[in-house]
């Protein structure tokens, strides 16, 4: 029981001490004392620090500190993801921003900390940052896959395959038939690669939708007044299978690399003599 009470207290003290502005002011007091050659700034700074840390243990002040820290973190994420987001279509950006808003709201929420320390809760919420990064990576893969499929319509591939097959049936020259068979094999390979891309893209979309649904549920837990312990349990249960996302990303990248190489050959025309 004593440990449960002590942990939140010291977590709040630590949170107040490492607040960006507090660290800057402490450093300023130290360098000001060095410049003046006097202990007065250090003594005044230490007294002010004791008052500040006492205030920081207040639940209200602690909540304000965490809200400010969350705002700074969100701004940092926006800057970190800016380059990737600029390359995405608006619908993907909108979906990603919804996830960011949920995490920000969770960090700002005033939750009942019974059974879990603020540090443990923050560690669980930090796992959602990994999920966001995975979602953004999957969004990039999904967009690349969509562009690839649009550039290689299945109807065009099927017509090309049928046309080459008919040409092979009519052609009597062995050398031309051999060239046509090579072209047919290439067209059939492109069809298989497209089918693989369709499957990969669908898997990526399902994974993205699962992330979005889980974030929505976590948001509802907070809005319904759920405790920090409940939230942490839900996050831990959700993020366990997320480690498989790395494997999914690698598989999708391999598929796209093959597809990109194949799409370069797709534009090569097959010229048949009319004679």
What is the pLDDT confidence band of residue 8, given thresholds at 50, 70 and 90?
low
214 within 8 A of 238, measured Cβ to Cβ:
yes
- Tokens 């020259």 belong to 173
The b/e string for 67-76 (b: 16+ C-beta within 10 A; e otherwise) is: eebbeeeeee
The total number of residues written for the chain in this structure:
275
Per-residue pLDDT at 78: 60
Tokens of 103: 């995490």
Whether 266 shows a pLDDT value over 60: the answer reads no
Average pLDDT, the chain: 77
142 within 8 A of 259, measured Cβ to Cβ:
no
What is the pLDDT confidence band of residue 263, given thresholds at 50, 70 and 90?
low
- Percent of the chain scoring above 70 in pLDDT: 73
Better pLDDT: 92 or 70: 92
Half-sphere exposure of 37 (CA within 13 A, CB side): 0
Helices 118-151, 245-266: axis angle to 10 degrees equals 20
The set of residues, in sequence order, having a beta carbon less than 8 Å from that of 218 and lying 6+ positions away, is: 102, 106, 128, 231, 234, 235, 238
pTM: 0.64
What is the pLDDT confidence band of residue 91, given thresholds at 50, 70 and 90?
very high
The set of residues, in sequence order, having a beta carbon less than 8 Å from that of 235 and lying 6+ positions away, is: 124, 125, 127, 128, 218
* DSSP characters over 187-209: HHHHHHHHHHHHHHHHHHHHHHH
Which DSSP letter does residue 38 get?
-
Per-residue pLDDT at 139: 92
Per-residue pLDDT at 96: 92
Taking the C-alpha atoms of residue 120 and residue 125, their distance in angstroms, rounded to an integer, is: 9
The set of residues, in sequence order, having a beta carbon less than 8 Å from that of 111 and lying 6+ positions away, is: 121, 222, 226, 227, 228, 231
Taking the C-alpha atoms of residue 8 and residue 148, their distance in angstroms, rounded to an integer, is: 52
Q: How far is CA 230 from CA 46, 103, 122, in A?
A: 39, 16, 13
Residue 59, SS3? helix
138 within 8 A of 204, measured Cβ to Cβ:
yes
Q: Quick one: CA torsion of 74, 80, 84, 87, rounded to 10 degrees? A: 80
Pick from 201, 192, 150, 190: which is nearest to 270 by CA? 190
Whether 212 shows a pLDDT value over 90: the answer reads yes
| 11 sits in which H/E element | helix 2-17
Whether 259 shows a pLDDT value over 50: the answer reads yes
């Amino acid at each position: 029981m004593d440990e449960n009470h002590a942990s939140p207290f010291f977590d709040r003290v630590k949170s107040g001490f490492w607040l960006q502005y507090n660290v800057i002011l402490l450093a300023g007091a130290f360098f000001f004392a060095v410049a003046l050659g006097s202990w007065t700034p250090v003594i005044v700074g230490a007294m002010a620090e004791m008052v500040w840390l006492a205030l920081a243990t207040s639940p209200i002040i602690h909540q304000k500190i965490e809200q400010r820290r969350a705002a700074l973190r969100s701004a940092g994420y926006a800057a970190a993801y800016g380059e990737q987001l600029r390359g995405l279509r608006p619908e993907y950006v909108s979906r990603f921003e919804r996830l960011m808003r949920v995490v920000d709201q969770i960090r700002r929420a005033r939750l009942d900390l019974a059974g879990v320390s603020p540090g443990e809760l923050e560690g669980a919420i930090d796992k959602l940052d990994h999920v966001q990064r995975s979602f953004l990576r999957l969004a990039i893969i999904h967009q690349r896959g969509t562009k690839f499929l649009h550039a290689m319509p299945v109807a065009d591939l099927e017509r090309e395959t049928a046309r080459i097959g008919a040409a092979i049936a009519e052609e009597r020259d062995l050398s031309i038939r051999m060239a046509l068979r090579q072209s047919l094999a290439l067209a059939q390979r492109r069809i298989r690669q497209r089918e693989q891309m369709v499957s990969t893209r669908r898997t990526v979309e399902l994974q993205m939708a699962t992330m979005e649904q889980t974030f929505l549920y976590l948001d509802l837990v907070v809005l319904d007044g759920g405790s920090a312990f409940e939230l942490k349990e839900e996050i831990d249960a959700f993020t366990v299978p997320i480690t498989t996302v790395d494997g999914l990303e690698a598989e999708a990248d391999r598929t796209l690399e093959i597809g990109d190489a194949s799409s370069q050959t797709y534009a090569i025309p097959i010229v048949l003599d009319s004679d």
